[in-house]
Amino acid sequence: MRNRDGAGLSTRAANTVVTALGAAAGIGPGDDGEAFGPHVLRHTFGTNLVRGRGEVATAPVDVVLVAELMGHADLNTTRRYILPSEADKTRELEALTTDR
């Protein structure tokens, strides 16, 4: 993103713009209470890569490559994107307890 002078936006300005666009689109805080903003977009991008979801990836992308793409120096930072979510756990438990 660029400002009126053509320079890159500051982190604060980018956060303000993305948060305002989210609010205008009716996107509020997530289930975890985190407000919509650049960090949510980045986290969603990383999660969709490692899980092979959405328009980002049609198949899971190797976690080492995801770390490189996201600029993570430590794989433990990227690891959070491959941990199961509460929805994942609930879905699996329901699948185990559903009558077949």
For the segment 65-88, what is each residue's pLDDT rounded down to a tens digit?
999 999 999 999 998 888 888 888
- DSSP three-state, residue 61: coil
Cα distance from N-terminal residue to C-terminal residue, the chain: 52
Distance in angstroms (rounded) separating the CA atoms of residues 32 and 43: 13
With a pLDDT cut of 70, the percent of the chain lying above it is 97
Distance in angstroms (rounded) separating the CA atoms of residues 7 and 36: 24
User: Domain ranges in the chain?
Assistant: 1-27, 37-97
Categorize the per-residue pLDDT at 99 as very low, low, confident or very high, splitting at 50, 70 and 90: low
Distance in angstroms (rounded) separating the CA atoms of residues 54 and 13: 28
